Amino acid sequence: MKAEENTAQNVETTTGSHETTATTGAASAQAVLALSLMEDQEHAELERTWSDEPGLWNWLRSVDHKSIGKRYIVTAFIFFLLGGLLALIMRLQLSRPENTLLGPDQYNQIFTMHGTTMMFLFAIPVMEAMGIYLVPLMLGTRNIAFPRLAAFSYWIYLFGGITLYVFFFLNIGPDTGWFSYVPLAGPEFSPGKRVDIWSQLINFTEIAALAASIELIATTFKLRAPGMSVNRIPLFVWAMLVMSFMVIFAMPAVMTSSLFLTLDRLVGTHFFNQAEGGDPLLWQHLFWFFGHPEVYIIFIPALGFVSSIIQTFSRRPNFGYLALVLSMIATGFIGFGLWVHHMFATGLPQLGESFFTAATMMIAIPSGVQIFCWIATLWSGRPQFKTPLLFVLGFFFIFVLGGLSGVMQASVPVNLQVHDTFFVVAHFHYVLIGGAVFPLFGAFYYWFPKMTGRMLGERLGRWNFALLFVGFNLTFFPMHQLGLQGMPRRVYTYLPGTGWGKLNMLATAGGVVMTVGVALFILNALWSRRRGRVAGDNPWGADTLEWATSSPPPSYNFDYLPIVQGREALWARTDDAPVVTGLRTNCRDVLLTKTLDAEPDNTMSLPSPSIWPVGVAFSAAVTFIGSCFTPWALVWGAIPAFISLVGWGWPKPKDDKCDLTPVDEWSEEKRRKEARRAQ
């Protein structure tokens, strides 16, 4: 205990003295000169230390948050395209009554795959991926906390996604919906391995998401640049932080429920068997306890995108920083209290229904606060109509509409009529596509220059926006009416006498338009990546720290970590900006700061590239998939997993130049001496 106190004291004295230096303006012309003289040599060494060497093997070993983030984004986007294609096929099937493009078995697999892909393989991962790429840059640090965990997170997510699609093409695609209600998904009514594959996929993605959340939280708490106290954290990072906490408390519910389901199916437990004391509704409670926060897990990062984009393009700080932060946190909390509104039709006690009605309506309040603050920002700012802002305006239109139809459904009587109809399909596509995908596309346009160094084409961008916006409303607006006319969800066809044909045809046409819109985006991205206008460090004149480094950022992110002087870091920056010096360039050193006020506290050498995260992910994949077929897989998988984990954590060789200071240097005596000297 004493040792720790000593160290703490020591640190305080050191930083204290340095701050004095900084504030009293001891950074003279000489210091500036010295910095620029050192630069070339230091950059070269930093590059050597941080960059990945070429070759496939080193590509697999990479622990750079930017590489991982980009891979994550690209992979998630590919899954988005696959999920979108499945949706298009469904729309084609539904375009006419009694269409025979798909049979019921195919349709059921496809709609399940669509939902599962969009939720578990696209929406959560892409949001986490944006965080993995951007959070360390925005916080002004050199890598994410736990970089090997980040690599592991990506690999296990990739293996999970591939597994699901391989099995889908083998006709073992899950067919019980992305919600897998028991008993339909239980052992009696879903024979074969389809649902087992689904519940194992849940394991893959939840592990990936949980790992990413832990990284983001630790990064946000400990790796912020000096000066970025809690009240200066960018709204984007707040959003990621709230999302990460929600993941941590929501995902275990689906982890547990999918464990129960797996056990029921594979070893014959009775969690959901009502004849032996189980209860099918237990599944629904557990699933929606995850499933509803899940919606906000997807939506809250989008709030971060919107905040960043609005701030930059209305050329003023967001109106109501504190209100926005608090409303995000409030959304995070209330999001856990609504799950039962997915279960009103199960006939719960009236009192419970009332409670959840009230809670559901209450969540409209923080959303309202957010919308009003942003409108106020635009009102008093000078909006510049670049593509990212267009997508955000699209977000307003669509999300507000979807939010309002959500408020209607909070009411039990209305909910009982529209639940599980196309009205609900319309509603949640309005909130999820409007609330998350539109901001995400805006974010792609906004940060593409940072990630690639080139701008996305504006003209194509506007076409992309227009087609997506029109296509979206054409597809989903008629679904409100279909729902009101009584068309239930998850039907592979309908009878001609129902009169649903025309609106369905319209929706399908809209789906085609949307497809063209997305195709334009792909074209734009592919073309701009090579030929787009060169972006420069800060093409939008934005305020957050990721724009303080080159585009794309060097492997070490910042040659000197920035020191933050205001909430809008770059807008507040003075001409001779102070930076952090003294981090070793031959080591992967990062600076840890204090959680609240972000004063420098200690430094730490982050782990180097490693193949072991891939090994652990692979072993886990083998275990998960194998255990669907034989319990022995747990044994086969555990051994390589254990070996890989030990390899992952094993210390660097002793002769590593960068290795840690030996104990004797930190002996109590030496520390006391240093403390004396500092005084």
Partner 1 sequence: MKRRAGIDVSGLPQFAFGSRGLIWWGIWGFLAIETTMLLICLVSYFYLQDRATDWPPPPTQLPDLGIPTATLAVLLLSIVPMHLLERAAKRLDTRRTILWTFVCIALGIVFCVLRGFEFYSLNVLFDSNAYGSVVWTIIGVHSFHLVTEVLETCVIVSFLLSGHTEPKYFVDSTDNALYWYFIVAIWIPCYAVLYLAPRYL
Partner 2 sequence: MMIAAVCGVVSALCLVAACKREERGLRVDPPSSARVNSKTLSELRPGNVQPISAPNEFEQNAFAMNEGKRLYEWYNCVGCHAHGGGGIGPPLMDAKWIYGGAPEQIFATIVEGRPNGMPSFRGKIPDYQVWQLAAYVRSMSGQVSKDASPSRDDDMNVKKPEQSTEQQEPRGTGGVPKSAERPQ
Partner 3 sequence: MSAPARSGMSAHARRLVRDALRACALACYALTTAACTGSQSILNPAGPNAGNVSRLWWLMFYVCAAVFLLVIAFLAAALARTRRRTNKLTDAPDTEPDAGRERRMRGVVTGAVVVTVIILFVFLVASFTTSRSLYALSDPNNLRIKVNGQQWWWQVEYENDVASQTFKTANEIHIPVGQTVTLRLTSSDVIHSFWVPNLGGKRDLIPGHETTLWLKADKAGTYRGQCAEYCGLQHAHMAFVVVAEPVEQFNAWMEAQRRPAAPPANAEQQRGQQVFLASPCVMCHTIRGTDAGASVAPDLTHLASRQTIAAGMLPNTRGHLGGWVSNSQELKPGNRMPPIPLAPEDLQALLSYLESLK
Restricted to residues 476-505, the positions that interact with partner 3 (CB under 8 A) are 477, 480-481, 484-495, 498-499
- Rounded-to-integer distance, Cα 84 and Cα 141, Å: 36
Residues binding partner 1: number (CB under 8 A): 94
- Cβ atoms of 95 and 104 within 8 Å: the answer is no
Residues 564-583 that bind partner 3 (CB under 8 A): 566, 568, 571-572
Q: Does the protein bind partner 1 through residue 222 (CB under 8 A)?
A: yes
HEC per residue, 283-324: HHHHHHHHHHHHHHHHHHHHHHHHHHHHHHHCCCCCCCHHHH
C-beta of 274 vs 667, nearer to partner 3:
274
* Least Å from the CB of residue 351 to partner 3: 11
Size of the site for partner 2 (CB under 8 A): 30
Nearest distance from C-beta of residue 536 to partner 1, angstroms:
12
Does residue 416 touch partner 1 according to CB under 8 A?
no
The 10 Å Cβ neighbour count of residue 272 is 24
630 binds partner 2 (CB under 8 A): yes
Residue 563 near residue 578, CB atoms below 8 Å: yes
Residue numbers 389-408 binding partner 1 by CB under 8 A: none
Distances 123 to 73, 129, 256 between C-alpha atoms, Å: 10, 10, 21
Task: Using the structure block, give the residue that is written with the tokens 């990721």.
Answer: 546
Q: Which of residues 146-185 bind partner 2 (CB under 8 A)?
A: 167, 169-172, 183
Binding mask 271-310 for partner 1 (x = CB under 8 A): x-x--xxxx--x--xx--x---------------------
* 156 is a contact residue toward partner 1 (CB under 8 A): no
Among positions 199-228, residues that touch partner 3 (CB under 8 A) are none
Rounded to a whole number of angstroms, the minimum distance from the CB of residue 656 to partner 2 is 35
User: What mask of x and - would describe binding to partner 3 in positions 55 to 84, judged by CB under 8 A?
Assistant: ------------------------------
CB of 176 to partner 2, least distance (A): 13
Q: Candidates 38-46, 312-320, 624-632, 644-652: pick the segment binding partner 3 (CB under 8 A).
A: 312-320
Q: Which residue has the tokens 């893959």?
A: 204
Question: Which residue type does 585 have?
Answer: T
Among 208, 591, 621, 628, binds partner 1 (CB under 8 A): 591
CA nearest neighbour of 440 among 128, 89, 135, 66: 128
CA distance 615 to 633: 16
* H-type alpha helices, 140-193: 147-167
Backbone angle region of 286, left / alpha / beta, with phi > 0 → left and psi within -120 to 50 → alpha: alpha
Cite the beta strand spans of 367-458 per DSSP E: none
**579 touches partner 1 by CB under 8 A:** yes
How far apart are the C-alpha atoms of 206 and 255, rounded to whole Å?
A: 7
Residue 491 interacts with partner 2 (CB under 8 A): yes or no: no
CA quadruple 307, 310, 312, 313: dihedral, nearest 10 = 170
Question: Which residue type occupies 397?
Answer: F
The one of partner 3, partner 1, partner 2, none whose footprint includes residue 323, by CB under 5 to 8 A per kind, is: partner 3
342 binds partner 2 (CB under 8 A): no
CB 110 within 8 A of CB 101: no
| Residues of span 639-658 touching partner 1 by CB under 8 A | 642, 645-646, 649-651, 654
Give the C-alpha separation, 644 to 638, whole Å: 10
The window from 188-196, 248-256, 370-378, 480-488 that contacts partner 2 (CB under 8 A) reads 188-196
**Residues at the site binding partner 2, with contacts judged by CB under 8 A:** 103-105, 167, 169-172, 183, 186-189, 191-194, 264-266, 268, 270, 272-276, 628-630
